[in-house]
Every structure is written in C-alpha cells, then in structure tokens.
Structure 1
Amino acid sequence: MVQAFVEIQGPMIEATGKLKQVVAQMQNKETEKKRTFLTLEELRPLPEDTNTYKSVGRTFLLEPKSVLVNEQEKKLMDSENAIASLQVI
C-alpha cells in the first residue's frame, strides 16, 4: 500500500507543479490584457493629430496614434488567444 502511494506521489507532485505554472501564466496574461485594455481606453478618445509616444527601453519614440492603437489591439488579441489556449490545457 505504501509503495502504491509513493508511485502515485511523483506524478501528483509533477502535475501540481505544472498546474501552478499554468495558473501563473494565466494571471500574467490577464494582467497584460487589463493593462492593454486600459491603454486602449485612454488612446481612443484622443484626436488623431495628438502627439503620442511609444516607450522603447529608456527612449520614447513619436508614433502616430493609429500605430499605437493597432499595436495595442494586436497585443489584446494575443493575450486573449494565450488565455484561451492556457484554459484548454
């Protein structure tokens, strides 16, 4: 009986570790999704001629609003797809 428990314990520990890893990845993607959504909510009402800047490391680059909105929308879709794929696992 003890031997059966020991045999099952290894896979159980491995499965628990993988589950924790997937949960952490989902939380990270949810946080990224929220941040991206809030950024889009701030960008959309701005006039098209507004100077917008993209952060690249320590530098800020002047970018048209449309480029930033497109990047944020793509990032939002990527986050949603990643969350959906993690939920399937």
Structure 2
Amino acid sequence: MRNKEGEKKRAYLTLAELRQLPDNTNTYKSIGRTFVLEPKSVLMNEQEQRLKDSESAIAALQASKEYLEKQKAEVESNLAELLQQDPGLAQQIMSMSVM
C-alpha cells in the first residue's frame, strides 16, 4: 500500500506541474536514460491513468487487508476457545520446543 500511495503522490504532483505549463511547451517522457519528446496531453493522460490505477489498487489492497484482519481475529478467537476447553492441550503446546 505504501508503494501505491507513493506512486499516487508522484502522479498527482506531476499532473499539478504539467497543468501549470502552457499547451505549446515541449515536454519529455523519461524512458530509462533516454528522454522522448511527447505532447503535453499524452503525458497528462498517462499521469491521470497512473493516479486512477494507484487509487484502485489501494482500495483493493485495503479491502484485502480488512478481510485478512477479520480472518486473523477469527482464527485467534477459535484458538483461544480451543485452549480454554482443553487446558492440557495448552500445557502440551507450551512445552513444545520451536525448531
């Protein structure tokens, strides 16, 4: 999520800078170590798409995180209930050594 938030912020800041430029300004796209002349509109469309992609990825990751947190809480609850029902099992688990 942090990576996608960083991408989103870079796209937003780049768009903000591109919007300030006049339409006839030469703009360049970085491809590796090379810079290619591109129309301002193409660069703006690419940044807007990156912004949208990042937002949708962040939303999907957030939903996945919430689902996994619910699953974790459910497993912890089930384990706690199991250990309460059988104290001997809890002692046996605690006596096991981790390899």
* SS of residue paired to 1:54: strand
* SS of residue paired to 1:49: coil
Residue in 2 that maps onto 1:45: 20
- Identity among equivalent positions (%) equals 72
Q: Which runs of 4+ in 1 moved over 2 A?
A: none
Q: CA deviation at 1:62?
A: 0.2
User: Could you list the runs of 5+ residues in structure 2 that have no partner in the other structure?
Assistant: 65-99
Structure 1 vs Structure 2 CA RMSD: 0.4
Q: Does 1:34 align with 2:40?
A: no
Which whole-Å deviations, capped at 9, do the CAs of 1:3-54 have from their partners, x for residues lacking one? xxxxxxxxxxxxxxxxxxxxxxx00000110111000000011111000000
For this pair of structures, how many residues does the alignment match?
Answer: 64
> Aligned equivalents of 1:86 and 1:62: distance in 2?
35
User: Could you list the runs of 5+ residues in structure 1 that have no partner in the other structure?
Assistant: 1-25
> Aligned equivalents of 2:9 and 2:42: distance in 1?
19
Residue in 2 that maps onto 1:82: 57
> Aligned equivalents of 1:51 and 1:39: distance in 2?
15
Q: Does 1:65 align with 2:40?
A: yes
> Aligned equivalents of 1:27 and 1:45: distance in 2?
28
| Higher CA-based Rg | 2
